[in-house]
Structure formats: structure tokens, C-alpha cells
């Protein structure tokens, strides 16, 4: 256990010695042992950076445009963001999305300084503001998905470079879900029945 913590501290010290762009290249090409953090990658249904109350967001069968956002927090570094900063800035990010079931990717329009590689079942997004970082909700781009049946879009993996050039693993999870039509019908019927119950 002591050796593990000692190794993590050495990685953090070394990461502070490189520039933001170089640090981003290092974690993409040679990922080490980043710490888990609070940065989120999510679908904002209103395309305003707000997180949906229902996660993952349920979509119907058909074609959909999914605005994808990241958010590391709102605390700004007093100085030295993307160097020795102490705030919530995200100075670079690498995101990998995968589809499951009868859901495929149909396209992606990036926002800001983000590049991507798109296949039918995989989307990779990388980039960011390496000079001063990004605060708060920041749009990564718009994903077009095609759902011919039930399935999911999953955040398979993601890593961010923070204001102090430490890398952070972003927790994986589901971005959107396309449930069985019968499941959606069941929810609608249940909601209708609840509405018919007499109020106390």
C-alpha cells in the first residue's frame, strides 16, 4: 500500500514539470495512473449545459441529435491555469464513446478546439483549451445517433488534464439509453394511473 501511494505522488510531481500541450499528449499516448475526480461528460437535452434530471436520458427509436458537454466545475485558478493552477479548469480531454444494441453513430459536429474520429459504433473526441483551460459547462459537439431498436451510448473511457496538469479519470457510464417501446408504454400507463389516484 505504501509503495502504491509513493508511486502516485511521484507521478503527480513529474506531471507538474511539463507544459499543458505536452501533458495532454503524454496522457493520450502513455496513460499512467490518474486519480478519480468530479468532471462529468453528459448529454444536455436543452443544449444549454444543464444536466438532465433523468440519467441516462431515454430516447425513442429513430434519429436524434445529442448535444454532448463536459463540466469540471466553476472555481477559477487565481493564476497559472494549465500550469500550477488550483482551480477547476480542464486543459485537455480525451473521450471514448461506444454504442451497444441497435444504436449507431451517424455523425459528429465538434464545438471549439476538439478533434474527433468517428465510426459506426465508436466516437473518440480529444482537444481543449491548452493555454487557459475551460471552466463550467463546455460543449464538446453534437452527436447524431440512429436507433433502430433498444440500445445505449456509453462513456467507455475519458481522461482530463486539470489546471495543475494532473490527469483525472472520468467515471464511465451511460450517456443515453433507447429502451424497449413496451417499457416506455409501461411508464406512460403507470404515470396515467398515478394521476388518476385520489389526492389525500
pLDDT in tens, 92-101: 999 999 999 9
Strand partners, 109: 142
pLDDT averaged over every residue in the chain = 81
Q: Give pLDDT tens digits for 26-75.
A: 344 434 344 445 899 999 999 999 987 776 788 999 999 999 999 999 99
Task: Determine the average pLDDT of the residues in 173-195.
Answer: 64
Question: Do residues 180 and 101 make contact, with C-beta atoms less than 8 angstroms apart?
Answer: no
Among 9, 21, 18, smallest CA distance to 130 is for: 21
Q: Residue 156 corresponds to which cell in the numbers above?
A: 467507455
Task: Determine the average pLDDT of the residues in 4-11.
Answer: 48
Residue 137 CB coordination number (10 Å): 17
Q: What is the pLDDT of residue 195?
A: 62
pLDDT at 197 over 90: no
Among 32, 42, 37, 25, smallest CA distance to 155 is for: 42
Number of structural domains (the chain) is 1
Q: What is the pLDDT of residue 2?
A: 52
Q: How confident is the model at residue 147 (pLDDT cuts 50, 70, 90)?
A: very high
In this structure, what CATH number is given to the domain that contains residue 104?
A: 2.60.40.680
For CA atoms 191, 192, 197, 199, the dihedral sign is positive
pLDDT at 13 over 70: no
| Range list of H helices, the chain | 2-15, 20-29, 181-196
Task: Determine the average pLDDT of the residues in 91-116.
Answer: 96
Q: Which domain holds residue 51?
A: 2-196
Amino acid at each position: 500500500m505504501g509503495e502504491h501511494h509513493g508511486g502516485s505522488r511521484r507521478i503527480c510531481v513529474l506531471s507538474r514539470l511539463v507544459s499543458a500541450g505536452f501533458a495532454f499528449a503524454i496522457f493520450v499516448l502513455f496513460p499512467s495512473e490518474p486519480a478519480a475526480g468530479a468532471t462529468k461528460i453528459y448529454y444536455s437535452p436543452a443544449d444549454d449545459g444543464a444536466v438532465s434530471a433523468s440519467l441516462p436520458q431515454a430516447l425513442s427509436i429513430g434519429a436524434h441529435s445529442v448535444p454532448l458537454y463536459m463540466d469540471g466545475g466553476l472555481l477559477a485558478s487565481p493564476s497559472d491555469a494549465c500550469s500550477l493552477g488550483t482551480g477547476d479548469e480542464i486543459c485537455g480531454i480525451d473521450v471514448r464513446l461506444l454504442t451497444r444494441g441497435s444504436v449507431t453513430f451517424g455523425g459528429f459536429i465538434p464545438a471549439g478546439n476538439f478533434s474527433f474520429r468517428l465510426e459506426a459504433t465508436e466516437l473518440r473526441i480529444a482537444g481543449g483549451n491548452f493555454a487557459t483551460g475551460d471552466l463550467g459547462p463546455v460543449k464538446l459537439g453534437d452527436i447524431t445517433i440512429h436507433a433502430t431498436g433498444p440500445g445505449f451510448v456509453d462513456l467507455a473511457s475519458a481522461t482530463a488534464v486539470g489546471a495543475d496538469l494532473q490527469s483525472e479519470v472520468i467515471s464511465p457510464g451511460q450517456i443515453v439509453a433507447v429502451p424497449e417501446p413496451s417499457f416506455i408504454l409501461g411508464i406512460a400507463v403507470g404515470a396515467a394511473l398515478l394521476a388518476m389516484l385520489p389526492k389525500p
